[in-house]
């Protein structure tokens, strides 16, 4: 085999209370797509951030072309030909795509020849099969398009090792397929692509070689033709993954009704004439490509937005203008998309976050006094019941891994036995075990007689959990199917707007 383009040896990286990498060796060879597979908190992103110059390792070395280097910043890494595209692509907003591509690129010169650059961007994009409009403003781009721009920016700067951190987490299935094609083309030029993921199927499709990380160590190295999804899953979690059994649904009466709701959003109608009924004891799956009104629907249900027209009805009572707090009192729980920024308070401790919903009522507050033993008791109960991995109840929420943050959030919402739960992308970015845990919680809730509105981009998830699937497209519900009778193709077409 050729000499590795880049290599890490014995990398240790420790964060307060967490060992992210406990001595990792990894080599990246030219012309390969290397998948780094592992659960949340396995140390994938940390390891690659060391390679991309974002973190200095506490021990161990980084080698480029066989010689050790010290990377002090992402700029250093770029100069060595290593570029990383992060999960959440950040842009200097509202500039043209071309300008973003030139960001930090010295050879751009003082004067910009906009037309020449636009042509160059278009050619470069065409080479890799990426569809990018050089003149589109970045604030109008979807997450997937932003990611493509960022990849192009890296290619434009001639990186030799392109690191993609969970690149498909925000993509539609079609976009994901396109990205995999682009990865293959990039590798065919002799560059290397590192593809961080916890999705088994796409790793098997994209990778030449697969490295599995578990708890900060390399659990195994393999190739797609020598392994199976089941073997990979076992390597990731170190034990058998149980399949969630799913009893049949027995829907009861309608609890929550959305009646002809319309809402304005940035750049047009976010919701139009939307009608939906939620019954007790069922899971309604809301399918759709991100950005087609799902967030607005969730926020209208949760009471965070008041629609321009239409009503939200709870057991015959109009709650269109009822506050989130009053809706919680009725039995409406909500797991928002942004768990750390909205559903939890990043700087609050686990204990404080556990009582976010009812800090001002008994048993937490009696009279004027906030009763800390009650707060801690509540948190301890959540931690035990939902197996939340926390060093202590006084740990701030941002110290937890994504999966455990979500267990805390979902646990808190579910522990009060709501009558209806609205859950938006509840397993986005979660690993196998955390996803299974959240799925189990949702099914338990259904079994306990609650209605669940599950907004998801993952057809796997919807087919695994939902009793009915409705499809959103451009702010409307464009179809409804019983999950048992629906096919993926049918739902996929509806998501794409063919109705």
Partner 1 sequence: MVITARTLDVAPPGARGAVWAEALLIRLGSALAALAVGALVMRVAGYDPWAAYREMAVGALGSWYAVEQTLLKAIPLALSGLGVSLAFTMGLWNIGAEGQLAVGAVAAGWLALGAPGLPAWAMLPGVVVLGAAGGAAWAAIPGVLRAAVGMNEILSTLMLNYVGLLWVDYLVFGHWADPTAFSFPYSRRFPESAQLPPLVGSVHVGAVLALAATAGLWLLLRHTAWGYEIRLIGTSPRAARYRGAPVARNVVAVMALSGLLAGLAGVAEVSGVVHRLQQGVSQGYGYAAIIIAWLARLHPWAVVLVAVLFAALLNGGFVIQTTGVPAAIASMLQALLLTFVLASEYLVRRHRRRRAVAAARAGLHQDP
Residues that bind partner 1 (CB under 8 A): 12, 14-19, 22, 58, 302-304, 323-328, 334, 336, 338, 341-348, 352, 355-357, 359-360, 364-365, 368-370, 372, 376, 380, 383-384, 389-394
As measured in angstroms, the least distance from the Cβ of 182 to partner 1 is 34
Question: At its nearest, how many Å lie between partner 1 and the CB of residue 236?
Answer: 19
For residues 189 and 187, give the distance between their C-alpha atoms in angstroms, rounded to a whole number.
Answer: 5
Nearer of residues 37 and 354 to partner 1, judged by Cβ = 354
Output the smallest distance, CB 84 to partner 1, in A.
Answer: 23
Nearer to partner 1, 120 or 371 (CB): 371
Structure tokens at 428: 């986005």
Listing DSSP states for 194-209 in one string gives: EEEE--HHHHHHH-SE
Say how far apart CA 460 and CA 244 lie, in whole Å: 13
Least separation in angstroms between CB 227 and partner 1: 27
Between 54 and 124, whose beta carbon lies closer to partner 1? 54
The smaller minimum CB distance to partner 1, of residues 208 and 342, is found at: 342
Q: In the complex with partner 1, which residue's Cβ is closer, 368 or 485?
A: 368
Nearest distance from C-beta of residue 372 to partner 1, angstroms: 8
Burial class (CB in 10 A: 0-12, 13-18, 19+), 462: buried
Token pair of 474 as six digits? 């451009």
CB of 399 to partner 1, least distance (A): 10
Residue number, 38 or 303, with CB nearest to partner 1: 303
- Return the number of the residue (25 or 58) whose C-beta is nearest partner 1: 58
Distances (CA, A) of 419 to 60, 331, 381: 52, 5, 21
Smallest gap from Cβ 348 to partner 1, in A, equals 7
Strand order from edge to edge, sheet including 476-482: 332-335, 420-424, 451-455, 283-287, 468-473, 476-482
Alpha carbon distance 265, 296 (integer Å): 8
Q: At 487, phi and psi to the nearest 5?
A: -115, 160
Tell me 341's DSSP state.
I
Specify the DSSP element, H or E, that contains 115: helix 114-127
Rounded Cα–Cα distance for residues 119 and 125 (Å): 10
């Amino acid at each position: 085999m050729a000499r590795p383009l880049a290599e890490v040896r014995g990398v240790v990286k420790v964060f307060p209370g967490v060992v992210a990498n406990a001595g990792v060796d990894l080599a990246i060879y030219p012309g390969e797509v290397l998948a780094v597979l592992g659960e949340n908190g396995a140390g994938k992103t940390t390891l690659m951030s060391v390679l991309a110059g974002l973190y200095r390792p506490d021990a161990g070395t980084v080698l480029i072309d066989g010689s050790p280097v010290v990377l002090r910043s992402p700029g250093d890494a770029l100069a060595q030909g290593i570029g990383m595209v992060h999960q959440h692509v950040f842009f200097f907003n509202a500039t043209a795509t071309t300008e973003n591509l030139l960001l930090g690129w010295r050879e751009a010169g003082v004067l910009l020849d906009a037309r020449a650059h636009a042509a160059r961007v278009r050619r470069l994009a065409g080479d890799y099969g990426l569809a990018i409009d050089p003149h589109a403003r970045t604030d109008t781009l979807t997450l997937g398009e932003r990611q493509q721009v960022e990849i192009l920016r890296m290619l434009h700067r001639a990186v030799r090792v392109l690191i993609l951190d969970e690149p498909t987490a925000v993509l539609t299935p079609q976009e994901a397929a396109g990205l995999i094609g682009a990865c293959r083309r990039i590798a065919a030029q002799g560059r290397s692509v590192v593809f961080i993921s916890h999705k088994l199927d796409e790793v098997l499709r994209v990778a030449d070689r697969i490295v599995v990380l578990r708890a900060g160590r390399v659990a195994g190295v393999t190739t797609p033709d020598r392994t199976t999804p089941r073997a990979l899953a076992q390597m990731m979690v170190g034990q058998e993954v149980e399949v969630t059994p799913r009893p049949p649904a027995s829907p009861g009466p309608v609890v929550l009704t959305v009646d002809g709701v319309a809402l304005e959003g940035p750049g047009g109608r976010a919701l139009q004439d939307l009608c939906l009924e939620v019954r007790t004891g069922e899971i309604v799956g809301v399918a759709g490509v991100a950005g087609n009104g799902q967030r607005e629907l969730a926020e209208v249900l949760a009471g965070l937005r008041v629609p321009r027209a239409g009503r939200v009805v709870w057991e015959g009572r109009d709650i269109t203008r009822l506050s989130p707090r009053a809706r919680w009192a009725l039995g409406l729980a909500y797991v928002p998309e942004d768990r750390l920024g909205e559903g939890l308070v990043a700087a609050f401790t686990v204990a404080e976050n556990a009582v976010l919903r009812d800090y001002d009522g008994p048993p937490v507050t009696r009279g004027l006094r906030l009763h800390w033993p009650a707060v801690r008791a509540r948190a301890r109960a959540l931690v035990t019941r939902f197996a939340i991995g926390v060093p202590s109840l006084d740990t701030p929420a941002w110290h937890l891994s994504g999966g455990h943050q979500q267990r805390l959030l979902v646990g808190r919402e579910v522990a009060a036995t709501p009558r209806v739960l609205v859950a938006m992308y509840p397993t986005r970015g979660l690993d196998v075990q955390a996803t299974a845990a959240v799925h189990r919680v949702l099914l338990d809730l259904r079994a306990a007689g609650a209605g669940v509105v599950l907004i998801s981009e993952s057809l796997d998830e919807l087919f695994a959990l939902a009793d009915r699937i409705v499809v959103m497209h451009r702010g409307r519900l464009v179809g409804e199917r019983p999950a048992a009778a629906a096919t993926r193709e049918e739902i996929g077409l509806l998501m794409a707007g063919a109705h």
